[in-house]
Amino acid sequence: MGKPVDILALKAGVLEDFAAHAARTRDSRTRLYAPGATERVHQCPICGADSADSVLRLIVYGAAYHQCPECSHCYVLDRPTKTALEQFYASDAYYAAAYTDIRAAETRVRQVAVPKAEWMVEQFERLYGRKPQSILDVGAGGGHFVHACKQMGLEARGIELSAASRDFCRSHFGFDLDSVNFTEAWHAFQGVDVVTFWGVIEHVPDPLDLLRAAARLLEGRDGLVVAEVPRWESLSTAVQTAFPDFVVRHLDPLGHIHCFTDSSIATAFELAGFAPAAAWYFGMDAYELTVQLATLLGENRVVGTLGPHIPVLQCAADQGRLSDEIVLAGRPAAIL
């Protein structure tokens, strides 16, 4: 549980004008979720239960998050089409800005990517008695995790649809990311030991498609899949339920058309052919609370005043399993 990070340094670009950032996010999401621009999800994307039985939990920018009564998964009931989502992620440079910010690049590598790479290696070694040799990072963003793996002496490749993110990786880290569709081209990456999805499967209409592609790639091998997803049962969910007009992360209905519970992510792993093997709880809940309070009071000094206390508050949230992120690692179930 827990992951130390200088969150204010990492989010410096957003904090420069949070209100303007929130307004831009609100405007784009409201347009995406305008009447007639969405399609209905008829079955739970995880367990397949009829969405007519789902329960409304929260509306953000016109997007309604519903919860499945069977597996407890939360998802946006009426969402943009798959084509619209793919076009957005491939072409929207503003959305990719968090991963292409040069000012935060080294902080993101040192405090975000490296700890994740070390944890991934630790879990693989615990399960198989050796270190992994090759890594595939699906949805690699600006390439920070792939770069961290390369620094550790691992063979690492990444897949990323965003042109802006691929350009950043090439210019800043000096290597190329692939731009293929992993669910169709998984066979091109034969031989990898680990497939990672850091904040990816919550973005796509069918998370199981990605997990099952990883299962096919790792079939019959000592392998590991790692997925980081947002958690519904978190302090951030409570905060954003109280302040739904200034959401820029977590329950952003474009970035996260899914929000998992521990049950639903474990169910997704099992249905895709993976046995959960390790879990890591951490989040940005204390940061979320701080920023929302500053916005509510119209006083940016709140961030500077509470900033030094964010790590202590977040530690308490993580220990209480109220963190807004979980990383789940799983091994191919067939080799158990």
Kindly list the strands in the beta sheet with 274-282, ordered across the sheet, starting from the edge strand earlier in the chain: 155-159, 134-138, 194-198, 224-230, 325-332, 274-282
3-state secondary structure of 107: helix
State residue 280 phi and psi, 5-degree precision.
Answer: -130, 120
Backbone angles phi, psi at 234, to 5 degrees: -145, 165
The rounded average pLDDT for each run of 10 residues, N- to C-terminus, in the chain (336 residues) is 79 72 86 85 98 97 96 95 72 54 74 95 98 97 96 97 92 95 96 97 96 96 97 98 93 93 98 97 95 89 89 95 98 73
Looking at residue 24, its pLDDT comes to 86
Give the domain ranges of the chain: 7-32+82-335
By the 8 A CB rule, do 207 and 269 touch?
no
- Confirm if 65 and 253 have CB atoms less than 8 A apart: yes
- State in words which class domain 7-32+82-335 has: alpha beta
pLDDT in the model for residue 82:
75
pTM across the whole model: 0.90
pLDDT at residue 336, as a whole number: 42
Count Cβ neighbours within 10 Å for each residue of 20-55 and write b for 16 or more, e otherwise.
Answer: ebbeebbebbeebbeeeebeebeebbbbeeebeebe
